[in-house]
Amino acid sequence: MRYPKLRELKEAVTSLLTPAYTTKYPGVEHVPFEKFRGKPVVDNENCVGCETCANVCPPHAITFTDDPVKKSRTIRRDYGKCIFCGQCQDHCITGKGVILSDKIFDMASFDRAQAVEFQEKELLICKNCGAVITTREHLQFIHRKIGPKAFSSVLNLNVLNEKLKLSEDKDVDVEIRDDLKRKDMFNILCPNCLRLVLVKYL
């Protein structure tokens, strides 16, 4: 019993003589250490709304809601739930969509709503079955990433056609009526509907 008491006494004296480990924040400005993982900061220009970060976020702080009618995806990031693990940054497909700040750490507030951020992204919807394909920016990102190989996908080709608007008519949309037909393979279709057309008319 004697030795442990002496050891504790030595610890107490050492602690009294060494400077405090904690900082005097908020009285004194706190400078976080290098590679500190603070608030995940989203760069909307480089975020394509692909869903990857939501799938890897351990506490489900990132969620997505798709509205096929409005063709819109709402991304909700709740930093009240965030554990600052950095998984969203590590798995971001563009590498620049979200980066943990090494300076922003003080996010305490009395209102939980202040810790929530939203983004809106345009969705691509299958013109036959109405299924959500992905966001337009996500598909464009894949285009840029894989270059001409992207055109091996009919969907990519069709999205490019839509963008080029080669027809002088303002509305180049062709409505899908009475089931899928061969011509519809050049429409914006989800992989399931596209497979149906291709298998039927091969």
When the beta carbons of 117 and 157 are compared against ligand SF4, the nearer one is 117
When the beta carbons of 121 and 127 are compared against ligand SF4, the nearer one is 121
Smallest gap from Cβ 142 to ligand SF4, in A, equals: 12
Per-residue CA distances from 22 to 25, 28, 100 (Å)? 9, 11, 23
Smallest gap from Cβ 46 to ligand SF4, in A, equals: 7
Smallest gap from Cβ 84 to ligand SF4, in A, equals: 5
When the beta carbons of 61 and 139 are compared against ligand SF4, the nearer one is 61
Residue numbers at the binding site for ligand SF4 (CB under 6 A): 40, 47-50, 52-53, 57-59, 61-62, 82-88, 92-94, 97-98
**Residue 160 burial by Cβ neighbours in a 10 Å radius (0-12, 13-18, 19+):** middle
When the beta carbons of 85 and 160 are compared against ligand SF4, the nearer one is 85
Residue nearest to ligand SF4 (CB): 97
Smallest gap from Cβ 108 to ligand SF4, in A, equals: 16
When the beta carbons of 99 and 154 are compared against ligand SF4, the nearer one is 99
Smallest gap from Cβ 119 to ligand SF4, in A, equals: 8
